[in-house]
Structure 1
Amino acid sequence: MHGSTLVFMVLGLTLVAFAWGRFRYDLVALAALLASVLLDLVPAEEAFLGFGHPAVITVAAVLVLSKGFERSGLVDLIAEQALRVGDRLILQMLVLTGTVLILSGVMNNVGALALMLPVAIRMAREHDSPPSLLLMPLAFGSLLGGLTTLIGTPPNIIISSYRGSVTGESFGMFSFFPVGASVAVAGLVFIILLGRHLVPQRVGNASTEEMFDTAHYLVELRVPEDGKATGWSLRDLHKAVEETIPVLAVIRGETRHAGHAFHGTLQEDDVLMVEAGPEEMKLLEDKAGLVVGPEPPPEEDLEGDESAEAPGVDDEQSRDKGKGKDKSKRPSVDTEGLHLVEAVVRNDSMMINRTVTQLRLHNQFGLHLVAVARDGGRLNQRLRDIRFRAGDILLLQGGEGEIGDSLTTLGCLPLASRNLTLGQPRRMLLSVAIFAVAILAMVMDLASAAVALSSAALVSLLVGVLPLREAYQAIDGPVIVLLGAMIPVGEALETSGGAGVIAEGLLTLGHAWPVVITLVGLFLICLLLSNVVNNAAAALLMAPIAASLAEGFDASLDPFLMVVAISASSAFLTPIGHQSNTLVMGPGGYRFADYWRLGLPLSLVVMVVAIPMVLLVWPL
C-alpha cells in the first residue's frame, strides 16, 4: 500500500478520534505517532524528535512566562482596574474583551482568559446580569488577541517554525501583527456593536446561590445524648451510611472545625453542618442517629412556625410535610468561615470521566465536593456517581492555604470566589523587564524565539519571579505531548506525498479561478478542521498542504502560511475547538449550538478582513 494512502488512513482515524472526544487529544496524538512508526511512515529513530522541536520548547517557555505574569500581580492590577467600569453592558464588553485581547498578544491566550474569567463573572454578579453576555465575547477575544504576535497562540509558533524549516528563516515576533491586529480590531468592533445581540442570554446563572442553592441544602444535625454516632470519626459516619455526604463543619461549643480538617471523633451535642437533601437527611437520622438542628428551642417558640423544626431543609421536604411555607422565611445557616470556592473543570483536567471516589478527592487533595453544576443548573444526582466533564462547575470546600494548589493539580480554574491579590512591585517590574529583554533579542535577531523565551523563563525562575514547582505546573503537559507527537506525523504527510496529493486536487478544482479563491478554500478547510480538532493539530496538518499549494501556483509561500495561521486560530463555531471556548461553557450556561450564532458571522468577518490584508502585506 502506498505511503500516502497509509498516512491518510492514520490521519482519518486520528481526526475521528479527536472529534469523538472519548480519549484525550494527547493520547490520540501519541497513538497516531506510534501507528506511523509501526507502519514505517516515521523512522523509529526520528519518532520523538518532535518533543525537542523549537515550537514545543517555545510553547512551554511562553506558558512559564505567562504564569510569571500572573504571580507577579501584573494582570491582577489590570483586572482590578477593569472592575471599575460602570453598569453599561457595552462598556463592560469593551473593557473585558479588549483587555483579554491585548493580554493574549503577550501571553498564552488560554492563560489570559483564565485570568480575566473570574473578573468577568464577578462583574456580572455585581451588576446582577447574566454572565453569558460577557463570557463568550471574552473567549472569542482571547482567540483574536492570539493572532497578533508570534507567542499569542501555538499555531503561530508552529507556522513560524515550519517556514524556518522550508526557507531557512522563521517569522519574527511581530510578523503576524499587521494582519492579526487588523483582524482582531475588526472582530472586536463586530462583537461590541453587533455580536452582543447574538450572544444567548442565560438568565439566573450569575449567582452562586442561584446556581447551587447552597443555603437551602445546608442543614445542622446534632449528635444526641447516647447517639449512635458518639465516638465515630467522619470516616466511620460515611461508612455507616454507605454514602459520602459532605460534612462542611463540625461545631463543638463555640469552636467550628472545617469538615475536611476534622480528624477526631464525634461527641455528644456536636453539631454537624451537612450539605444534604431530604433523602440524605433521612439516611443520617436512621443509620447514625443524628437529629435535625441544634438543641431544640422551647415549645412555645415553635408555635406558629412549624417549619422551625428543620432549618435549612429544602422545599421538597416542606411539601412532603404539608407545610407550604415560603422558603425565604426559613432560618439560614451560617456559612461564615467555610472556605468554599467555585472552580470550572478544564478540558485537560485529570478529573474528566472520573468520579470523586476514583480521584480520592478528600484523602489526596483535602477537598470536599459540595455540589456540581452543568449547563447552568445544579446536578441533583448523587455526588459519588457523577463523572466529571470539561466545563463542569464545582463547589468545593478546602483549606484556605492549600485549595489553590489542589485546584492547579486537578486541572481546575477558580472562578468568582478567587480573590484578586496584587503582587510585589519588585516582582512585577522584574517580570516585565525580563520579558522585554527577550522580545528585544528576538526583534534584533540576537536569538531565536525558542532560545530567547527559554532564557527569559530560566531567568524568571533564578530571580524568584516564579517558584520552580509552579513553573512545572504551568507547563500544559497534554499540549506539549500533542505537539511533540503530531509534528512527525505532519512531516510524514509531506514526505509520503500526501500533502502533494491534496494540493493537486485543490489545484485541479481551482485551476480556472484566481489564486485568491484557492486561499478562501484553504481558509475554510482549515477553519472547519480547527473547530473539531485542536488548533495546533490543524496548523500542523495544513502547513505542508499550504506549502504544496504555493509550489503548485508558483507563488510565494508566505500568504498561504499566513492564511493557515489565521484560520487555525479562528475556532469560533464549537465549544471543543479551543480550550477558551470550553472554559466558558459551564460558567456561561451555554449549549453546544450557541457558539455558531456568534461564531459563524465572526468567522466570516475574520475571513473577509484577513485574506485582503494577507495579500496586501504578503503579496503572491
Structure 2
Amino acid sequence: MADSTLVFIVLGLTLAAFVWGRFRYDLVALSALLGSVMLGLVPGQEAFMGFGHPAVITVAAVLVLSRAFEHSGVVDVIAEQVLRVGERLFLQLAALTGTVVVLSGFMNNVGALALLLPVAMRLAREHDTSPSLLLMPLAFGSLLGGLTTLIGTPPNIIIASYRGSVTGESFGLFSFSPVGVTVALAGLAFILLIGWRLVPQRAGKASTEAMFDTANYLVELEVREDSRSLGWTLSDLQRELEETIPVLAVVRDERRRAGHAFHGELREGDILLVEAGPEEMKLLEDKAGLRVGAEEEEEEKEEKPGKEEKKEKKGVDTEGLQLVEAVVRNDSMMVNRTVGQLRLHNQFGLHLVAVARDGGRLKQRLRDIRFRPGDVLLLQGGESELSESLATLGCLPLASRNLTLGQPRMLLVSLGIFAAAILTILLNLLPAAVALSSAALVSLLLGVLPLREGYQALDGPVIVLLGAMIPVGQALETSGGAALIADTMLVWGVQWPVVVTLTGLFVLTMMLSDVVNNAAAAVLMAPIAASLANGFGVSLDPFLMAVAVSASCAFLTPIGHQSNTLVMGPGGYRFGDYWRMGVPLEVVVVAVAIPMILLVWPL
C-alpha cells in the first residue's frame, strides 16, 4: 500500500477520533504519531523530534509568560478598569471584548479569557445581566485577538516555523498584524453592533443561587442521643452512607465550623448543615439517625394557617461557607472521572456541593456524575488551599476575583522582561523561541512567577498535541499526500482564478478547526497550502497566511477551541447556540481576510 494512502488512513482515523471526543486530543495525537512510526511513515529516530520543535518551545514559553502577567498583577490592573464601565450593556461588551482582543495578541488567548471570565461574571451579577450576552462575545474576542501577532495563538507560531523550514526565513512577530488586526477590528465591530443580538439570552444564570438553586437543598440536621452517627467523624458518615452528601458546616455551641475542615467526632446537639434532597435526607435518617433540627420540627408540629408564608421566607444561613464556582477546563484531570475516583475531599480538601451543565443544575447523584469540559461546579474548601487545588484539578474559578493581589512590585519587572524579549525578536538578535524562553527563565529566576506555578502554566495536552502532530504533518508532506490533495484542488481550480482556490482553502481550514484543535488544523493544512502555491506557481505567503487566520477562527462549535468550551457552562449555552453568531462572523472574517491577504501578501 502506498505511503500516501497509509497517511490518509491514519489522518482519517485521527480526525474521526478528534470529532468523536471520547479520548482527549493529546492521546489521539500521540496514537497517530506512534501508529505512523509503526507503519514506517515517520522514522523511529525522528518520532519525538516534534517536542523540540521551535513552535512547541515558543508555545510553552508564551504560556509561562502569560501566567507571569497574571501573577504580577498586570492583567488585574486592566480588569479593575473594566469593572468601572457601568450598567450599559454596550459599554460592558466593548470593555470586555475589546480588552480580551488586546490581551490575546500578547498572551495565550485561553489565558486571557480565563482572566476576564470572572470579571464578566461579576459584571453580570452586579448589573443583573444575563451572562450569556457577555460570555460568547468574550470567547470569540479572544480568538480574534490571537490573530494579531506571532505569539497570539499556536497556529501563527506553527505557520511561521513552517515557513522557516521551507524558505529559510520565518514570519516575524508582527508579520501577522496587518491582516490580523484588520480582521480582529472588523470582527469586534460586528460583535458589538450585531453579533451579541444573535446570542440566545439565558435569563437568571448569573448567580450561584439561580444556577444551582442551592438554598432549596440546604437543611439543618441534628445529632441526637439515639443517633447512630454519635461519635462518628464526617469521613465515617460518608463511608457508612456510601454516598456523596456534602456536609457544608457543623454547628456546635453556636459556633459554625466549615465541613471540609471539621475532623472531630460528632456529639449530641451538633447541627449539620447538609446539601441534600428528599432521597438523601431519608438516607441520612435511616443510616445515621440524623433528623431535622428540633426547632424546625417543632415549627412543623405547630404550623398554623397563615404561617406557611413566613416559613417559606425563612432560609438557612449560608454566610461564610466559602462556596466557590469553578468551570472544568478541556485539559482538566476531572474529565470523564467521578468524584469518588478523584477523591476530592481526601486529596484536595474540597467538598463537591452541586454540578451545573448547560446552565442548569444536574439532578442525578453526585457520585454518579462523570465530569465534562464546561461543567460548572459548586465547591467548598479552605480559602488558602482553594486556588492551588483548583489549579491542580484543571478548573477555572468563576468567583469574584480580588483584584491586584499578585505582586504589584513585580508589575514593572514583568513588563520589562516581556518588552526586552519583544525588542530582541524585532531586532533579529535571537529567534522567537530562544528570546521568549529566555524571558520565561528570567521571570522564574527573579521570582515574578514561582517555579511550581511555571510548571503548572504549561498546558500539557497542547504541548503533547503539537509535539505529536508535527511529525505526522511532515509525513503528510513527505509521503506525497499533501501534493495529492493539492493536485485534486488544482484540477478543480484550474478554470477559476487563484483567489477562488485560496478562498476554498481558507473555508476548508476554518471548517476543520471547528471540529479539531486549531493547532492540529494548522499542522495538517500547512503542507497542503505549500503544495497549492507550488502548483499554481505563485507566492507561498498568501496561502500560509490564509491557513494561519482561518485555523484560529473556530466560531461554530463549543469543541473547536478551549475558549468556546470554557464559556459553555457559565453561559448556559447549548451546542447549536454557537452557529447563531458564529456563521455570520465567519462570513465577515472571510470577506475581510481574503482581500487583506492579497493586499499585504500579493500572489
TM-score band by shorter chain is over 0.9
1:201-350 to 2 correspondence within 5 Å?
A: 201-293=201-293, 295=295, 302-304=302-304, 325=308, 329-350=312-333
Q: Which residue of 2 aligns with 1:137?
A: 137
CA positional deviation for 1:255: 2.4
CA positional deviation for 1:77: 1.1
Deviation string, structure 1 residues 379-411 (Cα, Å, up to 9, x no partner): 011000001111100000011000111111111
With 108-117 and 197-206 compared, the bigger mean Cα shift is at: 197-206
Distance in 2 separating the partners of 1:551 and 1:23 = 37
Kept in 1, the 8 Å contact 2:226–2:289? The answer is no
Distance in 2 separating the partners of 1:416 and 1:512 = 57
Identity of aligned residues (%): 76
Distance in 1 separating the partners of 2:306 and 2:370 = 39
The AA in structure 1 aligned to 2:222 is R
Q: Which residue of 1 aligns with 2:435?
A: 452
Distance change >3 Å, CA 306–CA 482, structure 1 → 2: farther
Q: Which residue of 1 aligns with 2:345?
A: 362
Q: Which residue of 2 aligns with 1:83?
A: 83
Distance in 2 separating the partners of 1:163 and 1:432 = 29
Paired residue total: 603
CA positional deviation for 1:348: 1.1
Kept in 1, the 8 Å contact 2:118–2:398? The answer is yes
Q: Which residue of 2 aligns with 1:504?
A: 487
1:362-511 to 2 correspondence within 5 Å?
A: 362-511=345-494
Distance in 2 separating the partners of 1:98 and 1:329 = 44
Q: Secondary structure at the match of 1:615?
A: helix
Q: Secondary structure at the match of 2:148?
A: coil
Distance in 1 separating the partners of 2:149 and 2:237 = 56
Q: Secondary structure at the match of 1:280?
A: helix
Q: Which residue of 1 aligns with 2:553?
A: 570
Deviation string, structure 1 residues 24-48 (Cα, Å, up to 9, x no partner): 0000000000000000000000000
Kept in 1, the 8 Å contact 2:71–2:407? The answer is no
CA positional deviation for 1:303: 4.6
1:583 equivalent in alignment to 2:566: yes
TM-score normalised by structure 1 residue count: 0.95
Deviation string, structure 1 residues 427-485 (Cα, Å, up to 9, x no partner): 11110000000000000001111000000000000000000000000000000000000
1:556 equivalent in alignment to 2:539: yes
Distance in 1 separating the partners of 2:372 and 2:294 = 38
CA positional deviation for 1:329: 3.0
Kept in 2, the 8 Å contact 1:341–1:418? The answer is no
Q: Secondary structure at the match of 2:265?
A: coil
Kept in 2, the 8 Å contact 1:527–1:570? The answer is yes
Q: Which residue of 2 aligns with 1:56?
A: 56
Distance in 2 separating the partners of 1:525 and 1:284 = 57
Distance in 2 separating the partners of 1:48 and 1:154 = 19
Distance change >3 Å, CA 209–CA 89, structure 1 → 2: same
- Of 484, 494, 512, the residue aligned with 1:529 is 512
Distance in 1 separating the partners of 2:305 and 2:443 = 63
1:156 equivalent in alignment to 2:156: yes
CA positional deviation for 1:89: 1.1
Deviation string, structure 1 residues 568-598 (Cα, Å, up to 9, x no partner): 0000011000000000000111111110110
Kept in 1, the 8 Å contact 2:119–2:401? The answer is no
Kept in 1, the 8 Å contact 2:250–2:272? The answer is yes
Distance in 2 separating the partners of 1:299 and 1:110 = 52
Deviation string, structure 1 residues 144-173 (Cα, Å, up to 9, x no partner): 000000000000000000000001111111
Distance in 2 separating the partners of 1:426 and 1:240 = 51
TM-score normalised by structure 2 residue count: 0.98
Q: Which residue of 2 aligns with 1:321?
A: none
The AA in structure 1 aligned to 2:181 is A
CA positional deviation for 1:328: 7.8
Distance in 2 separating the partners of 1:241 and 1:41 = 55
Distance change >3 Å, CA 616–CA 524, structure 1 → 2: same
Distance in 2 separating the partners of 1:351 and 1:469 = 20
Distance in 1 separating the partners of 2:416 and 2:160 = 25
The AA in structure 2 aligned to 1:40 is G
Kept in 2, the 8 Å contact 1:230–1:268? The answer is yes
Q: Secondary structure at the match of 2:105?
A: helix
CA positional deviation for 1:614: 0.5
The AA in structure 2 aligned to 1:619 is P
Deviation string, structure 1 residues 289-315 (Cα, Å, up to 9, x no partner): 1121255687799453798xxxxxxxx
Q: Secondary structure at the match of 1:402?
A: helix
1:18-57 to 2 correspondence within 5 Å?
A: 18-57=18-57
Deviation string, structure 1 residues 499-553 (Cα, Å, up to 9, x no partner): 0000001111000111100110000110010000000000000000000011111
